[in-house]
Structure 1
Amino acid sequence: MISYHTCATHVKKFKWSWGTALVVLIVSIIIISRLSVAIGSIGYGLTPPSLPEYKSLEQQHVNPEGWEGDSQWFHHATQGTATLPIPYEWLLALEAPKSSPWWGIFSWTDAGPFMGEYILRLGFIESKASATNPDGLPIGIAKTDSIYFPGVDRKASAAGFTCAACHTGQMVLGNKRYIIDGGPAMTDLGLLTQSLGAALGQTALASNLVFFNGRFERFAQRVLGSNDNIVTRTALKKDLANTMSILITKTDTINVTEGFTRLDALNRIGNQVFSQDMGRNSNYSPINAPVNYPHLWTTSWFDWVQYDGSIMQPLIRNTGEALGVSAYVDVTAPDNQRFASSANIHNLVKIEEWLAGTDPFKNNKQFNGLLAPKWPSSFPDINKDLAREGEALYGELCAGCHLPPVGSDEFWSDKHWQPIAFKDSLKDAADNEIPGSEEIFKTDEKYLKLNIIPLEEIGTDPAQANVLVTRTVDATGLNLNTKVCTPVKDGSGNVLKYVNYQDSATANFGLALGAFVERTNNQWFNQNFIAQSDRPVLEGLRPNCLQVGAGYKARPLNGVWATAPFLHNGSVATLYDLLSPLESRPTFVELGNQSFDANHVGIEQGDKIKRFNKDKSHRSEAFTADYDNGRFILDTRELGNHNSGHLFTDDKAAVGKIGPKLTEDQKFALIEFLKTQ
């Protein structure tokens, strides 16, 4: 036994001298200085953003009816994209970032996988491992083979977004998470970029340290496996550094923060295609027109899609979306090889056919693709008497723009379903146009003719509708020269007509994008030996028609209860707020909360955001933080975020007036009816 006296003597014997303490202090200063230099040399944001907490709950898919087979395929079917800018095996090996780079330095313990619970806090949805998802990736992320990564200077498998990444919704009510196939995603891709950068940066930092390299050690072991040795680790460290240096140059300019549930898809597609893919910085445009991710059900049968009713052909829309989330496309090869891409046209066509189903007029006037979700039986019961009152109000106030209810006979009338008519030239046996042979063509199938409401009439935020009108791109040297269809005035008024598109230094963004995607699709057809006669089927039997500046489309409201936040830019949290006068709509909207407000129908707003709205006069727009406790705070005073328009008001002069001011009973009656749709 050691006596107290002996122990005390022992401690006294090893008491540090002033000289020893000074040496330790100097060494500590040197280490800290070197760490500071190392952190600075990474040149990338090493501190991740604050994120909401995540709660694991039982999942229930709300709208599986009408789908052929398992929706897992849709969730993980590759579009040929490489959205996440690192090799696939890196992504699986990457640890979640520590809250501070200094905590990241002391990384003796594993922080858990980036692709585990951490990415779910960014709004992604958990998906179990399966035959179509062997690595258990979240919904909307798929593996794409054979993508070139400049940082590693070779091809590798990539992780890219699928359609489901932006078009699968979720909501939490009680102790269950409800999944809405085809609904608006609750992700925040801006925070994803920051988080991935921090995780990579902390790993790169660890690779430069001697005693604090645990994070890199674990990363290397997972990536290299049985090939882990001093040579391969050195090469991996170099590849990581090269990748980081490339990512530094790709920082976005954000004028209007997107936040949870929103994305400035049009500008991002344009930046990817005309700036990054072309290497032409002059074509870059800041992010300034975010929209709520649109829902997909019924969309395949619309005559025009996108919020601004700008695109007609399904394959143009879908390939353009794939290019926007980083499918590879070659714009520098000789003309007969140009526009070769990694876009998986086979899957894009299959996805569209799966979503659309068969012609509803050959199916007893019923949709049989992806169906709108039905109000779950586990939700609070619908008040049927109140819903009947709301049905009458819907017919009076809403049906004129949004069309009659989908289940009604009137909805299926020829007034609302018509073939698409367009003008084009006839072609000879060699597929050459015959001069002077222009005729009117009509599609065999009928499509739902949507109302597109001019901006001055609807009065909602104009930012997204103006993107294709005001943005120009320098397309010189691309040889986009092709034909696109667009509204043209002739003796009978506006008609859809194929016109020759020519390259220009100030090309209209909308028409240039349509021509770019047309060339990409045609190159894929050529490389895969698709006969001319077979191409229209892959294109959805519709022309490549584009229009800009028409306004905002009013789509049917089937399943609208599951699509919050509302208005095209997500500036209104609930249907109740949307049916309220402008002065009653909250100035600040909290996005990122997955809890569902079943009474007001939309995204539940916390007590803190309600206090924000009470003292909004004291909060300057310039100094209102974008995030609070991990959730996005949308400030509707900012251009691009305005919650104006689509108003129910007694003010006869109000821009965007839809109808008179509604009573509380009328608002809840309409809400109850919309729950039934």
Structure 2
Amino acid sequence: MKKAIRKLGIASLLALSAVVPATAQQAPTADSVILLDQAWSKEDREWYYSFSQGSAMVSYDLFLNMETADSRELFRNGLTGPAYGFVPGAVSPFNPDGLPIGVTKTNVATAIKGWPAGDYAGVNCAACHEGHLKYKGKLIRIEGGISNTINFQGMIIAIDKVLLAHLADAAKFDRLAARIGASTPDAKDKLRKRIESERVRINEYATRTSITEHPWGPGRVDAFSMIADRMTAVLPGIPENWVMGIAPVKPPFLWNAPQGLWTQWAALIQNPINRNYGETGGVFLPIDLSSKSPAEGLFQSNGAILELQRVESQLSRLAPPSWPEDVLGKIDRDKAKAGKALFVEHCASCHNVWPYRWTEPNKYGKRFVLVGLVPQTYVGTDKAQMEALRPLAITGELSKFLPGEFRDKPLLPQLLFNALALDVAREVAIRKLNLTDAQLVELNGYREFPGPRPPEHVYKAAPRDGVWATPPFLHNGSVPNLYEMLIPAAERTKKFYLGGDFDPVKVGFDATATSGTFLMDTTLLGNSNAGHSFQDGPRGNGVVGPLLRDEQRWALVEYLKSIPETPGRVTPFGGPPEGQLPQK
């Protein structure tokens, strides 16, 4: 078994290295980027692109000055090229060094085990939840959407190679030392030791947390497994709990996320600070899970609680993007009207329709948009996420500090152990803020305690407003365009390229294109494009609707292009006024 895992790791690294050549790309000019009305100001956008949520990947001075592994070019300059696919960022008060969108400067004020105090480069949610649609030389910016170009997995593999290259190549090391002002033998010795220490952290992530049988490709990560691996295996030092990321997903779009009852694909967490802190846990949040006791630093973290609260608040003011008719073509309103009737008939029982169905008010008077939760056995889409984690994980020394009934339990379901470790660390970080009861209610998004038990083996079916801007489709990005979402699953394209121009006809990626940055192969583990099928036969087992006539499919596509019907329309947080609620 161990030999098989070692062979798999080598094969995976070789496969990943084949898709991450360091290639710089000219940043888009201001007149090539089209901004849509999503109700955010310029300041909103610039803050979101660069705010720190506590992630500390590699020392900031190293990140700014290290070269690629095989050239003298600065590594940071290639992040916006096709190898890694980050969206170029502009210099702003929030981003004085002009880092790509989603790459941030983070300060670790007090040392946390494994992270000395200092400035670090990290990532925030905009790295994966911000992107462009390419069309005829233009880039349509989608705020809070998905990045279908970012290769996070490939970037980590590359940084591991970069740090190793600076240790192995004396000339490369000396150039780095000169750039950061390490000129004396003592300074150079300290720099070398720092690189060695930081490479341990990066190498662990590259060869354990994000190692996979085949590359996820751009725009997809197995965040579920990455978080669980860090929280239950890597940080507490329990390698037996390691899991491979077999279930890559595309990031969900973020408009209506704070207003919705559930946000994650698997409907795991309603409380926003729990959800956002946990997300940071998967992307280099410094957390001490290996010290002997809280007095020695156990559960200390660099979680940026108030920044995570601010981003959730700002996302509650984000409107879904409206189809830009002046760029992508006019919408046939009559066809869209026919499509809406079909959507209400065949789709709205799962996918809520504006002005939405809402929950009843909770004890804080807040309503939330109802989000469909569809059993995987019914919708029939890829089930790898349901099988990714271990049924049981070893709790080790952390068992002595778990809350309530879980204390001293030697084994717990891995998902539960992961949640408990995050819960304790998050509450330690929150207590430092000395918030009032009212502030705590707001921080927790006005959700009640205890929260509901997460449903098992379901996928979220959220409202479709703005979905036109988020290809490829299904939770794992396995369907190239909206048209193919409406045909029998067996007839869908099995392999298609990502990275090409947006197709405004079928709405998504052109499944016939033979060029692009990555070939999506839906026959591989975790990539299935089965399910959500419109075909003859009884509902369930992957069939969600009847076999549609082609004119019905095109009408549905036209309707999905047309929503939201009002540009800049923001869903009210907490629910609309009583008189504006839809009739049940």
TM-score class, shorter-chain normalisation, is 0.7 to 0.9
Query: Structure 2 CA distance, aligned partners of 1:513 and 1:180?
Result: 32
How far off is 1:578 after superposition?
Answer: 1.2
Equivalent residue for 1:323? 281
What one-letter code is carried by the residue in structure 2 that aligns with 1:286?
Answer: M
Alpha-carbon spacing, 1:48–1:524, altered in 2? closer, same or farther (3 Å): same
Equivalent residue for 2:427? 522
Q: How does 1:603-614 map to 2 (within 5 A)?
A: 603-605=509-511, 607-608=513-514
2:188 match: secondary structure = helix
Residue 379 of structure 2 corresponds to residue 474 of structure 1: no
Q: Deviations over 1:361-406 (max 9, x none)?
A: xxxxxxxx111011123221112222122111111111111022x2
1:374 to 277, 299, 322: 322
Residue 191 of structure 2 corresponds to residue 236 of structure 1: yes
What one-letter code is carried by the residue in structure 1 that aligns with 2:147?
Answer: A
What one-letter code is carried by the residue in structure 1 that aligns with 2:558?
Answer: E
Q: Deviations over 1:30-69 (max 9, x none)?
A: xxxxxxxxxxxxx999988346884543222224414584
Residue 315 of structure 2 corresponds to residue 355 of structure 1: yes
What's the TM-score once normalised by structure 1's chain length?
0.74
Residue 360 of structure 2 corresponds to residue 418 of structure 1: yes
Equivalent residue for 1:190? 153
- The answer to whether the Cα contact below 8 Å between 2:245 and 2:388 also exists between their aligned partners in 1 is no
What one-letter code is carried by the residue in structure 2 that aligns with 1:397?
Answer: H
- The answer to whether the Cα contact below 8 Å between 1:126 and 1:137 also exists between their aligned partners in 2 is yes
Q: How does 1:21-420 map to 2 (within 5 A)?
A: 49-50=20-21, 54=25, 56-57=27-28, 58-67=32-41, 69-82=43-56, 84=57, 86-98=58-70, 104=71, 110-111=72-73, 113-121=74-82, 122-146=84-108, 154-186=116-148, 187-207=150-170, 213=171, 215-224=172-181, 227-244=182-199, 247-250=202-205, 251-252=207-208, 253-331=211-289, 332-335=291-294, 338-356=298-316, 369-376=317-324, 377-404=326-353, 406=354, 408=355, 411-412=356-357, 416-420=358-362
Q: How does 1:498-509 map to 2 (within 5 A)?
A: 500-509=405-414
Q: How does 1:519-668 map to 2 (within 5 A)?
A: 519-532=424-437, 534-542=439-447, 543=449, 545=451, 546-591=453-498, 593-605=499-511, 607-608=513-514, 631-652=517-538, 655-668=541-554
- The answer to whether the Cα contact below 8 Å between 1:572 and 1:585 also exists between their aligned partners in 2 is yes
What one-letter code is carried by the residue in structure 2 that aligns with 1:584?
Answer: E
Identity of aligned pairs, percent? 28
Residue 372 of structure 2 corresponds to residue 451 of structure 1: yes
How far off is 1:134 after superposition?
Answer: 0.6
- The answer to whether the Cα contact below 8 Å between 2:228 and 2:415 also exists between their aligned partners in 1 is no
1:316 match: secondary structure = helix
How far off is 1:674 after superposition?
Answer: 0.5
What one-letter code is carried by the residue in structure 2 that aligns with 1:672?
Answer: E
Query: Structure 1 CA distance, aligned partners of 2:365 and 2:105?
Result: 37
Alpha-carbon spacing, 1:568–1:533, altered in 2? closer, same or farther (3 Å): same
What one-letter code is carried by the residue in structure 2 that aligns with 1:283?
Answer: N
Alpha-carbon spacing, 1:598–1:75, altered in 2? closer, same or farther (3 Å): same
Query: Structure 2 CA distance, aligned partners of 1:159 and 1:563?
Result: 28
Number of residue pairs matched by the alignment:
535
- The answer to whether the Cα contact below 8 Å between 1:565 and 1:603 also exists between their aligned partners in 2 is yes
Query: Structure 2 CA distance, aligned partners of 1:51 and 1:585?
Result: 33
Alpha-carbon spacing, 1:508–1:670, altered in 2? closer, same or farther (3 Å): same
- The answer to whether the Cα contact below 8 Å between 2:24 and 2:78 also exists between their aligned partners in 1 is no
How far off is 1:119 after superposition?
Answer: 3.9
How far off is 1:237 after superposition?
Answer: 3.5
What's the TM-score once normalised by structure 2's chain length?
0.85
Query: Structure 1 CA distance, aligned partners of 2:147 and 2:92?
Result: 22
Equivalent residue for 2:575? none
Q: Deviations over 1:502-551 (max 9, x none)?
A: 45333123333332222222212322323455422211121353414141
How far off is 1:650 after superposition?
Answer: 1.4
More strand by share: 1
Q: Deviations over 1:408-447 (max 9, x none)?
A: 4xx25xxx33235xxxxxxxxxxxxxxxxxxxxx442111
- The answer to whether the Cα contact below 8 Å between 1:459 and 1:644 also exists between their aligned partners in 2 is yes
Query: Structure 1 CA distance, aligned partners of 2:68 and 2:34?
Result: 27
After the TM superposition, which of the residue ranges 312-321 and 334-343 deviates more from structure 2? 334-343
1:374 match: secondary structure = coil
Name the larger-Rg structure.
Answer: 1
What one-letter code is carried by the residue in structure 2 that aligns with 1:601?
Answer: V
How far off is 1:676 after superposition?
Answer: 1.0
Q: Which has the higher contact order (CA 8 A, sep 6+)?
A: 2
Query: Structure 2 CA distance, aligned partners of 1:46 and 1:180?
Result: 29
Query: Structure 1 CA distance, aligned partners of 2:346 and 2:134?
Result: 31
2:514 match: secondary structure = helix
Query: Structure 2 CA distance, aligned partners of 1:516 and 1:528?
Result: 20
Alpha-carbon spacing, 1:56–1:136, altered in 2? closer, same or farther (3 Å): closer
Alpha-carbon spacing, 1:134–1:503, altered in 2? closer, same or farther (3 Å): farther
Alpha-carbon spacing, 1:245–1:66, altered in 2? closer, same or farther (3 Å): closer
Alpha-carbon spacing, 1:384–1:342, altered in 2? closer, same or farther (3 Å): same
Alpha-carbon spacing, 1:117–1:647, altered in 2? closer, same or farther (3 Å): same
- The answer to whether the Cα contact below 8 Å between 1:172 and 1:594 also exists between their aligned partners in 2 is yes
User: Unmatched 5+ residue regions in structure 2?
Assistant: 1-12, 564-584
Alpha-carbon spacing, 1:68–1:133, altered in 2? closer, same or farther (3 Å): closer
Query: Structure 1 CA distance, aligned partners of 2:519 and 2:257?
Result: 30
Alpha-carbon spacing, 1:342–1:481, altered in 2? closer, same or farther (3 Å): same
How far off is 1:466 after superposition?
Answer: 4.1
Query: Structure 1 CA distance, aligned partners of 2:42 and 2:126?
Result: 16
Alpha-carbon spacing, 1:76–1:594, altered in 2? closer, same or farther (3 Å): farther
- The answer to whether the Cα contact below 8 Å between 1:67 and 1:354 also exists between their aligned partners in 2 is no
How far off is 1:566 after superposition?
Answer: 0.6
- The answer to whether the Cα contact below 8 Å between 1:167 and 1:182 also exists between their aligned partners in 2 is yes
Alpha-carbon spacing, 1:649–1:519, altered in 2? closer, same or farther (3 Å): same
